Chain A
Amino acid sequence: MTNSVGIVIPQKIAFETPIALSSGVTLPRYDLMVETYGELNAAKSNAILICHALSGHHHVAGKHHEDDKAPGWWDTMIGPGKPIDTDRFFVIGLNNLGGCHGSTGPSSIDPATNKPFGSTFPLVLVRDWVETQARLADHFGIRQWAAVVGGSLGGMQALRWTITYPERVRHALVIASAPKLTAQNIAFNDVARQAILTDPDFHGGDYYRHGVVPRRGLRLARMLGHITYLSDDGMGEKFGRMLRSGEYKYGFEVEFEIESYLRYQGDKFSDYFDANTYLLMTKALDYFDPGRHYGGDLVAALRDALAKFLVISFTSDWRFSPARSREIVKALLDAKRDVSYAEIDSVHGHDAFLMEDAPYHNIMRAYLNRIAAEVNV
């Protein structure tokens, strides 16, 4: 594996200090699943936090076993000699609180009852994640991140970091994100949630004790999501009207390639992802609105930030469109913050932020070089 961080071993870190969440609920303790790549330097100045999006997790780069089919979800971006260069930076990926990849979440056992939390697990907001990530930084002795980086919902976390802990973030890289969701975006999330909530196997969120999962709902939610993560052109380029068997079958079985793709993605997702986590993540997206506590004024919110910003969007992304990124840029400019912005030409829609693309990676590499120079690595 060239340019790979190689075989990585996740670690589970226990946090025994209670955390008071935005919803009013206090969790007495929680675990976070984490992976790290590269070495933390003596000054502890070269740490980069990777915040994941809706269905992401701690496994960002490398492989767990030689024979893993696929590496971590952002392996194209992170590794020795890659834009986020692990020869220079110490990179941390985590599974956020409420996740389903080892961090405490709805499918975890509630120590109070010895049963899965299920419906009793509280909703978690982006600001709550930032709080848990700050404790994670403390765990590693990191006073200030060289950068907090994220795409989509991950970008929202990077943005939130600069407002909640201005002095702890040197740079925020906010990719394919938005300052808050539009009605249309919330609407998509709600259709996804309704698919899960109305699945007879959902059992009010306590499906674990019935030995079932709301697979149909989760599958539909994911299929809908995938449509919005691709662009019309990108989908047309990849699938067009291609038929699996080359002719019409006059029925409802899989005929078009796009149907096959979406059903496959939906099936795969419903095999490993927890429905309650999906609900929680979409609500975190919907609630995100950092200007809310500043009278709806994002500029006022960002005046507190000290970080420098790189904002990136992709031309064919309509779920988190360039116009939404430009809103962030405008607010940062109005708040007199340092910001650079790039709008990358791509047919890959929202998914473009996860893909390898020379202009996109060149900009990331150039920006990361600048950070490396600042922190002397």
Chain B
Amino acid sequence: MSAPTTTPTNPSTNHKYQLRPDLQRIADWITPGASVLDLGCGDGVLLAWLAANKQARGIGVEIDVDSVTACIEKGINVIHSDLESGLTHFEDGSFDFVVLSLTIQAMHNVEGILREMLRVGRIGLVTFPNFGYWENRWQILIGRMPVSETIPYQWYDTPNIHFCTLNDFDQLLATLGMRNTARVVLNEGHEISLLPNLRGSLAVVRFEAL
């Protein structure tokens, strides 16, 4: 591993785990000492970072057995389970934050998981590819299904079944009695503030009950 190029103010460099830009935005929103449930936690990099930098008490849920092993190697608590079967392991209000990064677009029961997130936790943090991103719109316009950095699959082999735009997502939250309490929109790791639903490829949304 190469030595980190440090800017002393950036907490992401205090630790050996470098976070993806969307995960870094999520990490920035998590308060020190919080309890965090990371759904589809992959190799546990976010939870490892949060444990090292924010003294967070975290646990992951992951379906892939090799990723479960990777979490355990990092000393991260992880439950090997399929999110589609719900979060029955967890009691109401067990966590301060519940994270779901780049997973929602591949889930069958989107409403179910959002409800579960705010059942077991107080604040939901979700990241998803913005289907309203101009490159996606352009590809549709010229008659092709979008393939891009955040949607890297061909239509016939994609695990993604539930795409939405920023506006669609907010609409769903409202339907579920939830609200967007903060949002960052990214493109190639950089924040987009002007025309986010057009210029942003990836959304990071914090949501809570109304």
B77 touches A (CB below 8 Å):
yes
- The contact string, 1 if C-beta is below 8 Å from chain A, for chain B 48-73, is 00000000000100000110111111
Which of B59, B69, B79, B94 is close to A362, meaning CB atoms less than 8 Å apart?
B69
Closest to A326 in B: B89
Task: Give the number of residues in B that approach A within 8 Å (Cβ atoms).
Answer: 21
Which of B72, B75, B76, B90 is close to A363, meaning CB atoms less than 8 Å apart?
B72
Chain A, range 360-375, C-beta contacts under 8 Å to B: 362-363, 366-367, 369-370, 373
Given A359-B69, A367-B72, A370-B72, A340 and B77 contact (CB-CB distance below 8 Å): yes
B157 touches A (CB below 8 Å):
no
A345 touches B (CB below 8 Å):
yes
SS of B interface (majority):
mixed
Chain A, range 302-337, C-beta contacts under 8 Å to B: 310, 326, 329-330, 333-334
In the assembled complex, the CB of A15 is this many whole angstroms from the nearest CB of chain B, namely: 36
- The CA-CA distance from A359 to B62 in the complex, in Å, is 14
Which of A333, A342, A362 is close to B89, meaning CB atoms less than 8 Å apart?
A333
In the assembled complex, the CB of A172 is this many whole angstroms from the nearest CB of chain B, namely: 14
User: In the complex, which residues of chain A have a beta carbon less than 8 angstroms from the beta carbon of B88?
Assistant: 330
User: In the complex, which residues of chain A have a beta carbon less than 8 angstroms from the beta carbon of B77?
Assistant: 338-340
User: In the complex, which residues of chain A have a beta carbon less than 8 angstroms from the beta carbon of B70?
Assistant: 366
Do B69 and A330 have beta carbons less than 8 Å apart?
no
A343 touches B (CB below 8 Å):
yes
- The CA-CA distance from A232 to B91 in the complex, in Å, is 35
B80 touches A (CB below 8 Å):
yes
Do B68 and A329 have beta carbons less than 8 Å apart?
no
Do A345 and B79 have beta carbons less than 8 Å apart?
no
B99 touches A (CB below 8 Å):
no
B81 touches A (CB below 8 Å):
yes
Do B72 and A345 have beta carbons less than 8 Å apart?
no
- The contact string, 1 if C-beta is below 8 Å from chain A, for chain B 90-112, is 11001000000000000000000
In the assembled complex, the CB of A180 is this many whole angstroms from the nearest CB of chain B, namely: 19
A341 touches B (CB below 8 Å):
yes
Other than the given A340-B77, A341-B78, A359-B65, 10 more pairs (CB < 8 A) read A333-B90, A333-B94, A341-B81, A343-B81, A344-B65, A362-B69, A363-B72, A366-B72, A367-B72, A370-B75
24 A-B pairs within 8 Å (CB atoms) are namely: A329-B79, A329-B89, A333-B59, A333-B79, A333-B90, A333-B94, A334-B91, A338-B77, A340-B72, A340-B77, A341-B78, A342-B80, A343-B80, A343-B81, A359-B69, A362-B66, A366-B69, A366-B70, A366-B72, A366-B73, A367-B72, A369-B73, A370-B75, A373-B75
